[in-house]
A and B are shown apart, each in its own frame.
Chain A
Amino acid sequence: MNQKIRLYQFFILTLICQLAHGQKTQVFEDQVYLNGNVYQANFNYYVNKKDTLYHGPFALTKEVEEAVGNKNYKYAAINGNFNQNVADGNWAIRQGTFSSSGKGVYQDNAYIFKINGTEFIANGNLDKGKKNSPWEIYEWQIVNSTIDDTLFSAQLPFHNDHLQGNLKLFHEGDYLDGFVDNNQFTDRTWSFYLTEANGKRVLLKEWIFQNNQLVSKRLYENGQALNLIISEVTNQPKQVEEIPFDDNFMKIIDLKASLNNPELYEKYRGTDKVRDLIFEVVDKLQVVDSLFVPITKLKVTPGIKTRVDKFPYTQAELSLLKTAQKNTQEADKLMRAIHDDPQVLLASTSIEKAAWYFSTLQAVQNQLLEKSKAIIDHYQSGNLEYVNRNRFLKSNLTVPKTIQVPFAFNRDTTQFAYNLVHVQVAPQQEPLQQFTTLSENIIKEINLLKDSLDAYVLEVKREEHLAESEAVLLKRQEDLVKLSDSLLNEQHDKLAGFNVKAVLLSFTQQLLKDYNSLALSEKNQQIESSLNCLHQVESLVRNLENVPENTYMVRDAYTNKVFNPYTFTDMEEKVKEPIYESFTEVMLPGIWNNLNKLSCENITAYNQNFNNLFGGMLQVLNRNTRREERRIKRADTAAKAAEILNINLTF
């Protein structure tokens, strides 16, 4: 019985296994797009519920000529293996740039060339999607198709998908040995070596981690060890925070180092190659991930972490810092507005006093505002929270009574001392309070200097505006000549009894002549009214264009056609003849004659006269005017005639 049961079990299991592997694996060989590049793909896959799942060997290759005919090539390749869409087994990513050299050797129906270039390789093993063994990264210099030199190498021990154990990094003769614990936290001592000319490795620096926290840096110089204390001993309430081991951490460490060891920090700040080496590795790993992640959904770059002391802000501190931030931003905005104003720059190069104020403003910016901005930058980046603020501000905040101002004007370069008017702080105040006060006072100081500068800028603006306006004045006069030529003709002269165009242009020329004889300050006052006056003349010319037509239309309006049954012809007769005669003989000549006594004050009214007269004549036509017709016969002046007809004319 038991044997039968086992036999059935065997058959059932065999059947299930057959069903499980019933899926059909296919081979894909074609071009695919990855990160905007075309790769030749070759991989195995199967389809499950419309999903394409990788299964088996996987390869992508790309080889392109940088430019046609220049013999420089780039290539990239990814090789690996999938097991049911999970990366598994050895993986390698290669990238290279090379150029062919020599004439090549013809072999096996093709030319084979020697190449020069660089090649980057990252390879490692994945165990069902997890990094579980060391990954190695190399960059080689290749000469004549052989590896000539190793430019970069990194050995990254992974265990259970975590970077864990000893790191070994190498870049152009610099070595770093570091340690990462089971949780990917930095720990123990990280050592940095240089390769001397004789090939001997020499210890240069050590980073000392205790409890995953960088407590000090040790620098070896001439056999002597110099210590930079990073983690300070303080009574301030603090907490230990986990943060990524990244560039921001380095900035926090720099901040702490500069605060705890100002002299040593200043001396050795430029020689920190450890940071360069670490980030070189990060850069390389990111290159690997840019190819690796889209295919495998896995990252090679490890998330190394570290710990650091943090001193949380109090509410009072936050309030002061926010005020100082706002003030500093306002001061910065003020300075940018000053720098962006071309008239300020013009004034500061043409007027010595303006240059004096501009230089002083720049000195305030460089010597006070920029320092405040640097403090605010630390606040905005969040790094200020990792240091002792009182100590930090005391060491970074200096409030001088006088600043030295470099002054350059007309090729002379001098320097003078400027006594700050507003920039003062009370020594008894807390440092953060002092900083906030300083940020307020900097605004006041900038505004004070800016007000003085503005007076000179205004002068420049006035001159510029005057120059622009005078150009417009001349242009308007030229346009007026053209306009008169095109709109005024002999019909106008015939109606007016004089050369209208000549009279108007004579008036504008006299206007310009009078303007030119003014002093500069008077010109500033007069320019707008002169421009306006020319505008009024233009308006008059445009209005005069219609005067002949309107005159003829009034004539037509006052003309009746009468059929004479004796002659059998149409004859014309004037309606309200005395009024029409007054229009033609008195009023119209009267307002034309006004043009001979034009001024900027009366031109608008004289222009309006034409419209008023024509409009008035039409109104008169439609009302009972028997009495006016009798009276107007005795009116010998245009003013009197207009008064009788109640037409508003100005003389």
Chain B
Amino acid sequence: MRKHSLLLLFLACLAFPSLVSAQEERTRDSDNWNTNLWVGFYNNFRLSEKFFWRAEMHYRRGDYEGQPFIGKMEQIYNRHAITYLFSPTFNMSFGGVLRLNFTPSPGNDAYKEVMHEPRIWHEYLFVMPFPRFQAYHRIRIEHRWSKSNSYEDDWIFRNRWRYKFYAKFPLNKKTLTPGTIYFNPDVEIILQTGKQVIDSPVEDFRVYPSLAYISSPRVTYSAGLMYATGQNLNDGTVYRQRWVMRVSAYISLDFRKDEKKIHSVRLLD
């Protein structure tokens, strides 16, 4: 019964993006349809009892000239932050991002080959533990300075307001322990503000169901297909849509000294 429920939920999540895309059939022929491949490496290094260093690297490609998902290089992300573990159910992070945007038209001299985009971001994560699964509310706020690869464009500043709800349902075990395959439904809405944002506050809406495997307490892998849609910055009536194939690895290492990690045991008392 449990397995059936989870399967139905998984299928529903997969179906939802399809439904959304059906509504947008009229724009399918436009340039606003894209496919991408996102490969992410998420590192989380424990520095002390309360502080972590988050170091993420994302490698993203996109369709180009008829080749879906991997036709051309699109972005490289370097996201860093210091996380403060306030409690097992709440933490917050603060850090910076350096994004490298590659030219939308490779070989076209009108575009700069690589354009950097700095960001400052902070995040507030609320954890809802349940006996058999975990649910999360994530609020992330980013302050970005961006400029398109076109030489003619200027730098613009925007704020991003992101809210994400996601959960982790173990499939083959009762709890999230090493060896567990879990289902991870994920929904996020990204709003934006700024001088240039006139009629396009909804930058992105993402639905991302994925499957993950906990290899060990320190390594987890996940993969899934994400549907995302959002308003075009210059024309709020135009919705950009994407299918994003995502593959991620989550690494967590403990940089503390050993004696602070291994609890002592008395034997043969």
Binding site for B on A (CB under 8 A): 546, 550, 553-554, 556-557, 560-569, 571-573, 575, 611, 614-615, 618
| Shortest Cβ distance from residue B259 to the other chain A in the assembled complex, whole angstroms | 11
Pair A573/B217 contact, Cβ less than 8 Å: yes
Q: Quick check: A566 and B268 within 8 Å, CB to CB?
A: no
**Alpha-carbon distance A611/B268, docked complex (angstroms):** 8
- The chain B residues found within 8 Å of chain A, CB to CB, are 42, 44, 46, 52, 83, 85, 88-89, 127, 129, 134, 136, 168, 175-178, 214, 216-218, 220, 250, 252, 254, 261-263, 265-268
Contact B216 A573 (CB under 8 A): yes
Q: A567-B134, A571-B217 are in contact. Are A557 and B267 (CB under 8 A)?
A: yes
Chain A's closest residue to B177 (CB) is: A571
Q: A562-B217, A567-B168 are in contact. List 14 more A-B contacts (CB 8 A).
A: A556-B265, A562-B252, A563-B46, A564-B220, A564-B252, A565-B252, A567-B134, A568-B129, A569-B134, A571-B176, A575-B262, A614-B267, A614-B268, A615-B267
A568 touches B268 (CB 8 A): no
Please indicate the chain B residues that have their CB under 8 angstroms from the CB of A614 in the complex. Answer: 267-268
**Nearest-neighbor residue (CB-CB) of A573 within chain B:** B217
Give the docked Cα–Cα distance between A268 and B46 (Å): 122
Q: B225: shortest Cβ distance to chain A, in Å? A: 20
Asked whether A553 and B134 contact (CB < 8 A) given A564-B217, A566-B42, A573-B217, the answer is: no
Residue of B nearest to A569 (CB): B176
Question: Nearest-CB distance from A558 to chain B (Å)?
Answer: 9
Q: Once bound together, how far apart are the Cα atoms of A561 and B136, in whole Å? A: 22
When distances are taken between beta carbons in the complex, the residues of chain B under 8 Å from A568 are 88-89, 127, 129, 134, 136
State which of B127, B177, B252 has its C-beta within 8 Å of the C-beta of A572.
Answer: B177
User: In whole angstroms, what is the CA distance A156 to B268 when docked?
Assistant: 94
Tell me which of A562, A565, A567 contacts B176 (CB under 8 A). A567
16 A-B contact pairs sorted by A residue (CB < 8 Å): A557-B267, A560-B261, A560-B262, A560-B263, A562-B217, A562-B252, A564-B176, A565-B83, A565-B85, A565-B252, A567-B214, A568-B127, A572-B177, A614-B268, A618-B265, A618-B267
**Inside 8 A of B177's CB, which chain A residues have their CB?**
571-572
Interchain CB contact under 8 A, A557 and B42: no
- Provide the residues of chain B in CB contact with A563, threshold 8 Å: 46
Set of chain B residues within 8 Å of A564, measured between Cβ atoms: 176, 214, 217-218, 220, 252
A572→B176 CA distance, assembly (Å)? 10
The answer to whether B252 touches A566, judged by C-beta atoms less than 8 angstroms apart, is yes
Chain B residues with CB under 8 Å of A615's CB are 267-268
B254: chain A residues at CB < 8 Å are 562
Query: In angstroms, how far is the closest chain A Cβ from the Cβ of B168?
Result: 6
Q: Which 10 A-B pairs have the closest CB atoms?
A: A562-B217, A571-B217, A557-B265, A565-B44, A568-B127, A567-B176, A573-B217, A566-B250, A553-B267, A618-B267
B85: which A residues are within 8 A, CB to CB? 565
A579 CB to closest chain B CB (Å) equals 15
| Given A566-B252, A567-B134, A567-B168, also A550-B268 (CB < 8 A) | yes
Q: How far is the CB of A100 from chain B (nearest CB, A)?
A: 85
Shortest distance in angstroms between A306's beta carbon and chain B's nearest beta carbon?
Answer: 87
Which residues of chain A come closer than 8 Å to B176, judged between CB atoms? 564, 567, 569, 571
Shortest C-beta distance, B124 to chain A (Å), equals: 14
User: In the complex, what residues of B have CB within 8 A of residue A569's CB?
Assistant: 129, 134, 175-176
- Cβ contact within 8 Å between B127 and A554: no
* Cβ-defined partner of A565 (8 Å) among B46, B89, B129, B216: B46
B residues near A567, Cβ cutoff 8 Å: 134, 168, 176, 214, 220
Q: Are A554 and B46 in contact (CB under 8 A)?
A: no
Q: Is the CB of B216 within 8 A of A566?
A: no
Task: Known contacts A566-B220, A572-B217; decide if A554 and B267 are in contact (CB<8 Å).
Answer: yes
Q: Which residue among A563, A567, A611, A618 has the maximum number of chain B CB atoms within 10 Å of its CB?
A: A567
Closest chain A residue, CB of each to CB of B168:
A567
CB A569 to nearest CB in B, in angstroms, measures: 5
Complex Cα distance A568/B138, Å? 13
Cβ contact of A561, chosen from B127, B252, B263, cutoff 8 A: B263
B139 to chain A, nearest CB (A): 16
Chain A residues with Cβ below 8 Å from B268 are 546, 550, 611, 614-615
User: Contact between B265 and A553 (Cβ–Cβ < 8 Å)?
Assistant: yes
Given A557-B267, A571-B177, A614-B268: A565 touches B52 (CB 8 Å cut-off): yes
Most interface-central of B217, B261, B266 (chain A CB within 10 A): B217
Q: Can you name the residue of chain A whose Cβ is closest to the Cβ of B42?
A: A566
**How near does chain B come to A104, taking the closest CB pair, in angstroms?**
90
Measured between alpha carbons, how far is A553 from B263 in the docked complex, in Å?
Answer: 12
CB distance from A372 to the nearest CB of B (A): 69
B83 cross-chain contacts in A, Cβ below 8 A? 565
Distance of A557 Cα from B252 Cα, bound (Å): 22
B258 to chain A, nearest CB (A): 10
Which residues of the partner chain A approach B52 to less than 8 Å between Cβ atoms? 565
Chain B: CB-nearest residue to A555 = B265
Nearest CB on A from B82, distance (A) = 12
Q: Across the two chains, which residue of chain A brings its CB closest to B218? A: A562
CB neighbours (8 Å) of B263 from chain A are 560-561
Chain A residue nearest in CB terms to B216:
A573
| Chain A positions within 8 Å of B217 at CB level | 562, 564, 571-573
Q: Which residue of B lies closest to A566 (CB)?
A: B250
In Å, the complex CA distance between A618 and B265 comes to: 9
B217 CB to nearest A CB, Å = 4
